[in-house]
Structure 1
């Protein structure tokens, strides 16, 4: 680590992924999304291993959940996006996406949070927008965020870029992220590699275990 003035700058992945200041963000691992991804078995296995290792070595674990606002409070632009996604020409025809209490909205059972994990209900495709996450991170002394989840090209990438803009070190676990589209997943990973560290799950686990 280099110290320049009042700044401490990490110099390698062992410092960046030190469990003392790292949080694992398991993004939207909900039934309604997991069932549609292109690599379900690999994804579930990798997230399970990374989450277990994180807990064992003292890495904080955060889960996010899509929790849509009631229709009357949704932005018109979001309604338009949902109409495109579901192929309808009238808002009244929209299905209730990730309805609270529905099976689709629940976190995938095999990857369910444990008592010391934190579950964040949020309304946007960023872990920062409209949430108290930044206060939580500062309170816990977190400087590094490791991302897994669905979908790579939507909430994961959006949150990674926001985290960078908020001054956090970020790492993307490439094979612990997924999408309904393998092509979009791979494009997103390539794009993010220009601004963050993209690593396979096994490499991240090996570094965390060194502590």
Structure 2
């Protein structure tokens, strides 16, 4: 986890998601500390933001998935993370600072539809450290995708969360068999 070859990803830490997680205070406290340490060790920070496609360009599957997840029967009533809305903004206590990168994306994989892989290769980064929401959705799928692309994926156990503690725990259990799962203090110690 050499800081010169690592990146810290802050996955979808947007108001609507942060306000619905089971461990908000602990999650925010751990993430703030990790962000501070990352910046002091010059580890680049990439934030992601859910940025839905316009309705007419959204896939049928993603509409179905959103309808199922939010209990909506009419896909035109989906208003989740509307760009510019307060719910879509990054949570203020852990907001980006000058020098951080913000990636707008519309899938649960940091590499699909973005230039993140190219960016990481250009910066000679081989370790991708994941934090954010939701553990069982974008964090898990992006960590797997990072590994499939030859990166070392690391999931920070106390800096990921979900609206469901059960799903969060299940995802961490599965990921422990495939990626590096570590606590923020272990990451910070490795940087020193």
How would you bin the TM-score normalised by the shorter chain? over 0.9
Shift of residue 164 of structure 1? 0.3
Which structure 1 residue ranges, 4+ long, deviate > 3 Å from structure 2? none
1:168 pairs with 2:151: yes
Q: Where does the alignment leave 5 or more consecutive residues of structure 2 unmatched?
A: none
In 1, are the aligned partners of 2:66 and 2:78 still within 8 Å (CA)? no
Determine if the alignment matches structure 1 residue 187 to structure 2 residue 187.
no
Q: Does 1:159 align with 2:172?
A: no
Query: CA deviation digits over 1:5-58, x for unaligned, max 9?
Result: xxxxxxxxxxxx100000000000000000000000000001101011001001
How far apart are the structure 2 equivalents of 1:184 and 1:86? Answer: 16
The residue that corresponds to 2:20 in the other structure is 36
Structure 1 residues not aligned, in runs of 5+:
1-16
- What is the alpha-carbon root mean square deviation over aligned residues? 0.7
Query: Helix, strand or coil for the counterpart of 2:79?
Result: coil
Give the structure-2-normalised TM-score: 0.98
Greater Rg, structure 1 or structure 2?
1
SS across alignment from 1:175: strand
In structure 1, distance between residues paired with 2:89 and 2:58: 21
For residues 141 and 56 of structure 1, the distance between their equivalents in structure 2, rounded to whole angstroms, comes to 19
After superposition, residues 1-211 of structure 1 pair within 5 angstroms as 17-92=1-76, 94-208=77-191, 210=192
1:90-142 deviations in whole A, cap 9, x for unaligned? 223x2311000000000000000011100000010000001000110011111
TM-score, with structure 1 as normaliser: 0.90
Aligned counterpart, 1:4 = none
